[in-house]
Amino acid sequence: MIALNALVAICLCYVTFLFAVAFVAERAARRGQVGWLRSPLVYTLSLSIYCTGWTFYGAVGYAARSGLEYITIYLGPSLVMLGWWWVVRKMVRIGRTQRLTSIADLISSRFGKSNLLAIGVTILAVIGTTPYIALQLQSVTLSFDVFARASGEAEQLPSAIWVAIGLALFTVIFGTRNLDVNERHHGVVMAIAVEAVVKLFALVAVGLFVVWGIGGGLGATLDKIDQSEIGAWQVEGGRWAGLMLLSAAAFLCLPRMFQVMVVENDDESHLRTASWAFPTYLICMSLFVVPIAVVGLDLMPAGSNPDLFVLTVPLSQGREGLAILSFLGGFSSATSMVIVAAIALSTMVSNHIVMPIWLRFTNDGATVSGDVRNVVLLARRLSIVGVVMLGYLYYRLSGGGNALAAIGLVSFTGVAQVLPVVLGGLFWRGATRVGAFAGLTIGFCIWLFTLFLPSVGPGVLISTTVMDQGFFGLSWLRPQALFGIEGLDPLMHTLLWSLSLNTVAFFAFSLISFPTPLERLQGAQFVNIFQHSSGVRSWSAGVAQSEDLMIMAQRILGAREAQALFSRAAQKQGVSGNLPEPTPGFLELLERELSGSVGAATAHAMIGQIVGGMSVSVQDLMAVADESAQLMEYSARLKEQSDELSRAARQLREANQKLTRISVQKDAFLSQISHELRTPMTSIRAFSEILRDGGQLTEAEQTKYASIIHDEAIRLTRLLDDLLDLSVLENGQVSLNLRHDSLRDLLDRAVSSALADEEGAGLRIRRDAGHEDVPIYTDPDRLTQVFINLIANAKKYCEAAHPELEIRVGRRGDWVFVDFVDNGLGISPEAQDVIFEKFARVSDQKAGGAGLGLAICRQIMTRLGGGITYLKGERGAAFRIELPTHLSMAAQ
């Protein structure tokens, strides 16, 4: 008999071999030689982690106890893979497009990146998977036990703890080598593929030995089967269909299956190969189960454990080599399951539970200094150890008895609660977060109450009183006879009630709740994934800081990768330097990259912390809507363009009109100037000709003509002075001579200067001495010029018999008003608009000036920071001057 130590040595050699395989594959992948690592065959073999130690050993035991029922566990997944076009293909495409990291991530991402849902699914997965890991540990321990008993060394049993530690170590080393889950664990996948070959080879070898070595050929074995105690079809109909459904659901929803099927998938086309290759693998795995069971029942003493026939039958025939091979097969099945399950669960736990908590408890969240990568990796490593140890703990607590054997299907049922939500999320856009949460909660509670708690054993977690009389003594709440329906198989009872009520709740709450915009967006993207494989933009990046994003990305992706990503994006945007603009497109890309490392919900939260808010614009929604919406978007874009064109055309038209107006003004100005210059010139020429030609002019006439010429020359000079003044003022070239002065002094000066000549005596000025005492800081000369002009105008144009001018002064805050109101007829309304324009004269009869006075006044007042307006509604002509008491320097 083989010594236990030798077996341990073989086991260690095998594990070393696996380490080597994983190591070589990792290294090849790092060198870029991934061709053979990414073959469809490796993908198909990696799917075989569905066949765990429980199926390797347990299927034979199952067959020995209940005949062909065991086969349903393989038929369900076969149907799923044969029908890959329906669900699996969509799941893989979504997983790759959205960079999903786990089944919890899928659900959270679909329902608006809700972290609550992710946590719920994670907890469900941990509770559902822990017993399963315990089962694997048990199967390894039991198989050691078989050899130990055979060699009589029962005391030296290697503890399950060593198996657990070894598995945790392997998983930590190869499962957390790189952070980005989407970069795939080539080493692990390769090791699993090798283990898949080993377990298949082992089971087929035992099967061939049993059929041809013991059974005496195919025909003889079939006869033997018919004569055995399981020789007739005895499967209960409900269980047959129910288990097929259950195993199909579990195949889609198990975290470890999602890990190898979606996350580790390199190429969608591998699915096509797997669609027929994986069922083939399952056929080979299950083909010899019944013969082994029958031969085992025949050969082994009554009462021996049928779960271990795969080992004990070869041993009883003295085939130690075959037994060791079979042992390695079982060992492979158990270890590969634990490794992948630990990776999948640790990803979920670290992404959905540890990281959100860590982000919340580090005050400044995503912008805290330090490398988040280490935190994530550490969280993942600790989660792996935690998950495996939880499995071990469960194994110790449950005592490793027969209770464990049934836990496989219990586990399946728990995980299958995710199915309605996953399928609803993939195919129904109306599914909402509230619905998903309600469905999962109800399904989980029913499963817990009716199957999981009772499964540990009567009276352990749930009292026998509750089992017999129902919760709170309500008979319709008995765990194994809900609503008073008795006589169902407990598993089918739970499956029926949990899945149906789960689905009903999911639909009902989805129908009555209203999804958030992000949910609708994600929903449209998931359901129409084949129409919209490209992403949508959802971040509004007004306030996002590229630098902050860069710092955060560096800490998650690593400095080099993040810089490469940023500079690539910058290049694409045509921005110089390494920091791209935080456009929605770039943020979308970044979020997806990050979600490959820390999961969708966390990545979303981290970018949200930096960017601030997110918006789902109408355009976003349109981008994922159906074709009509796409057409609408297209036409909207066209309309936008044509709007822009017409805006530009309107602006051009306006500019053109302005230019035309200015040109007309310029022409008018020139003709006015030439007219104004021409009139005095004409009279000067005429009178100077008379003086030149006429000899017989009297002294008085000569003097009169000469003085006319003189007056006209003065008028000409004044006109030119005014023009010069105006152009200087208009060009802003005038320099103000700012001083402190009193308004009263200025008015005094203006009045005396304006009324200096003999005409001035006709105009009476009424002043308001009390209010005039206002200190001002301005250019007194310029302001006096304005006053003089206004007084002179009143003197010149006031038609009243006794002309009077009232000067009123008022203050409002820092502003002072000076009103000049005469008692004439005023200015006609149509003339009021133009009096401040150049060459505007109200009447021609008293044409004394060139019509530039008020235009100059306005320019001066503008320069002084104030203004001049015509006051309507006064008795006669009234002008108001407003100016700040203290002209600030800024106003210049």
* Binding flag, residue 204, other proteins (CB under 8 A): no
Query: Should residue 857 be labelled a site residue for other proteins when binding is judged by CB under 8 A?
Result: no
State the amino acid at position 263 in one-letter form.
Answer: V
**From residue 646, how far is each of 97, 614, 632, 643, 650 by CA, in Å?**
40, 32, 20, 5, 6
Comparing CB distances to other proteins, the nearer of 242 and 853 is 242
Rounded CA separation 324/312 (Å): 11
End-to-end CA distance of the chain: 110
What is the 8-class DSSP label of residue 482? E
Asked if 85 touches other proteins (CB under 8 A), the answer is yes
Report CA dihedral (336, 342, 343, 348) to the nearest 10 degrees.
Answer: 150
* Cβ-proximal residues to 9 (8 Å cutoff; 6+ apart), any chain: none
Binder among 427, 634, 669, 815 for other proteins (CB under 8 A): 634
Closest distance to other proteins from the beta carbon of 261 (Å):
16
The verdict on 68 binding other proteins (CB under 8 A) reads yes
Q: Does 55 bind other proteins (CB under 8 A)?
A: no
In the bound complex, what is the minimum distance in angstroms from residue 79's beta carbon to other proteins? 5
The size of the interface with other proteins (CB under 8 A), counted in residues, is 47
Instruction: Give the integer Cα–Cα distance in Å for 424 and 527.
Output: 9
Which residue's CB is nearer to other proteins, number 593 or number 620? 620
For 676, phi and psi rounded to 5 degrees?
-65, -35
Stretch that binds other proteins, among 171-179, 230-238, 395-403, 868-876 (CB under 8 A): 230-238
Phi first, then psi: give them for residue 725, nearest 5 degrees: -55, -50
Of 55 and 793, CB closest to other proteins: 55
Strands 477-478 and 775-778, sheet pairing: unpaired
How near is the Cβ of 411 to other proteins at its closest, in Å?
23
Interaction of residue 862 with other proteins, rule CB under 8 A: no
* Separation between Cα atoms, residue 74 and residue 233, nearest integer Å: 18
Name which position in 59, 106, 135, 230 contacts other proteins (CB under 8 A): 230
**DSSP 8-state code for residue 261:** I
CA–CA separation, 24 vs 56, rounded Å?
Answer: 28
- In the complex, minimum distance from the CB of residue 647 to other proteins, in angstroms, rounded to a whole number: 25
| Vertex 611 angle, CA 605 and 616, to 5° | 80
Please count the residues of the chain: 892
Q: Is residue 284 involved in binding other proteins (CB under 8 A)?
A: no
233 interacts with other proteins by CB under 8 A: yes
Q: State the nearest-atom distance from the C-beta of 622 to other proteins, in Å.
A: 11
Interaction between residue 480 and other proteins (CB under 8 A): no
**Residue 807: helix, strand or coil by DSSP?**
strand
State how far the alpha carbon of 94 is from the alpha carbons of 46, 254, 533, 538, in Å.
20, 17, 8, 17
Q: Which member of 29, 244, 246, 257 binds other proteins (CB under 8 A)? A: 244
Q: Does 79 bind other proteins (CB under 8 A)?
A: yes
Which element (helix H / strand E) includes 816?
A: strand 815-822
Alpha helices (H) along 176-217: 186-208
By CB under 8 A, residue 805 contacts other proteins: no
Q: How far is the CB of 634 from other proteins (least distance, A)?
A: 6
Minimum distance from residue 190 beta carbon to other proteins (Å):
24
User: Does 234 contact other proteins by CB under 8 A?
Assistant: yes
| 8 A C-beta contact, residue 117 and residue 107 | yes
Of the candidate spans 188-196, 217-225, 418-426, 444-452, the one that interacts with other proteins by CB under 8 A turns out to be 217-225
**DSSP letter (8 states) at residue 628:** H
If the CB atoms of residues 235 and 720 are measured against other proteins, the closer one turns out to be 235
Which of these, 872, 867, 831, 868, lies nearest to 851 by C-alpha position?
A: 831
Interacting residues with other proteins between 525 and 564 (CB under 8 A): 529-531, 533
User: Per-residue string for binding with other proteins, 32-51, x by CB under 8 A?
Assistant: --------------------
Residue 740 β-bridge partners: 777
With binding defined as CB under 8 A, does residue 641 bind other proteins? no
Exactly one of 152, 237, 487, 574 binds other proteins (CB under 8 A); which one?
Answer: 237
Q: Establish if 495 lies at the interface with other proteins (CB under 8 A).
A: no
State the residues that interact with other proteins by CB under 8 A: 67-68, 71, 75, 78-80, 82-86, 93, 222-223, 225-226, 228, 230-235, 237, 240-241, 244, 269, 272-273, 275-276, 279-280, 283, 287, 290, 529-531, 533, 627, 630-631, 633-634
